[in-house]
Amino acid sequence: MTNPIADPLVEVPDTDAASRLVLIEATEQGVATVTLNRPLRRNAFDDHLIAALHEAFETLQGAEGVRVVFLRGSGGTFSAGADLEWMRDAIERSEADNREDALAMAVMLKSLHAMPALTVALVEGGAFGGGAGLVAACDLAICTADAKFSFSEVRLGLIAATISPYVVEAIGTRNARGLFATARVFDAAHADKIGLVTEVVADAATLDAARDRIAAEMMACAPGAVAASKKLVEDVAHRPVAEVMEETARRIARARVGEEGQEGVRAFLEKRKPNWAL
């Protein structure tokens, strides 16, 4: 498997040789950008794009030195959701075939959500259906002020099934019920209010500046501690405090005697940068 950190531009292999469906750009410092690259189709999902995204996320999980992963769409749109041609094909397929397609989407989303590095969605234009699901599956999401969102599945007689775990986690059950049931299009301000995005910026140029700011911030954070912190949240969420007390004590004790913990505390006391800080 290619290590994207060793190459300034890595194209993830996809099943359509005529299309560069997903691009990975990465720096030597471990800042990676995954770009959905179907601008003529507004970065809409089909089985090829889903497979290419899954391959991209698996590639980054297996690559050493990745500190932060940004996810964005090409051509000024994040993702329009499901591709119309793909949906047309789906209505002719059996339930078993549709289950297989849906499972591929679910596996792809899980590979994004489980990324050890911090993940950040950079949203311009529209993020609809599965595109909004990608936003929810990231740790952070920044959008431009003119961005639009919708969970539009019910207008097609469908449901937002595979994206639902991440959307409910991001915006809560009541917001999810209302937005899933109405398919309402909502703006950046409302996305910020309900927690689907974590920051709203003025325009594309400001979005790039926010990306650079977050990338710089992550250079001060210990990579192993970032991954462990993300896992910690997943493991303690919605569990009683008494049930997790001993486990959380074990985890911080392990961190204190670990390589990063030892280096970080010593660096602080010695008033110098730790060895991971760039």
The helix (run of H) or strand (run of E) holding residue 100 is: helix 95-113
Calpha distance 134→132 (Å, rounded): 5
Query: Quick check: helix, strand or coil at residue 72?
Result: strand
Closest Cα to residue 32, out of 119, 100, 154? 119
The pLDDT value recorded for residue 82 is: 87
The pLDDT value recorded for residue 226 is: 96
The pLDDT value recorded for residue 89 is: 83
Nearby residues of 246 by Cβ (< 8 Å), 6 or more positions away = none
Query: Over the stretch 224-259, which tens digit does the pLDDT of each residue have?
Result: 999 999 999 999 998 999 999 999 999 999 999 999
Question: Is residue 112 within 8 Å of 57, Cβ to Cβ?
Answer: yes
CB atoms within 10 A of CB 88: 9
Question: Is residue 102 within 8 Å of 162, Cβ to Cβ?
Answer: yes
Residue 251 is assigned to a structural domain of this protein: yes
Are 150 and 177 contained in the same domain? yes
Question: Is residue 171 within 8 Å of 136, Cβ to Cβ?
Answer: yes
- Last residue of some domain: 218, 235, 253? 218
The parts of the chain modelled with pLDDT lower than 50 are 1-18
Are 8 and 54 contained in the same domain? yes
pTM for the model stands at 0.90
The count of domains in the chain is: 2
The pLDDT value recorded for residue 174 is: 98
The pLDDT value recorded for residue 19 is: 53
Residue 210 is assigned to a structural domain of this protein: yes
Residue 277 is assigned to a structural domain of this protein: no
Chain-centre distance for alpha carbon 105:
13
Calpha distance 151→161 (Å, rounded): 11
**Domain with 13 in it: what CATH number?**
3.90.226.10
Closest Cα to residue 51, out of 103, 125, 91, 1? 103
The pLDDT value recorded for residue 166 is: 97
Closest Cα to residue 162, out of 225, 239, 105? 105
Are 167 and 261 contained in the same domain? no
Are 123 and 246 contained in the same domain? no
What does the DSSP assignment read for 183-252? ---EEHHHHHHHTS-SEEESSHHHHHHHHHHHHHHHTTS-HHHHHHHHHHHHHHTTS-HHHHHHHHHHHH
Calpha distance 127→78 (Å, rounded): 5
Are 149 and 229 contained in the same domain? no
Task: Please give the DSSP secondary-structure letter assigned to residue 6.
Answer: G
Full residue range of the structural domain in which residue 239 is found: 223-269
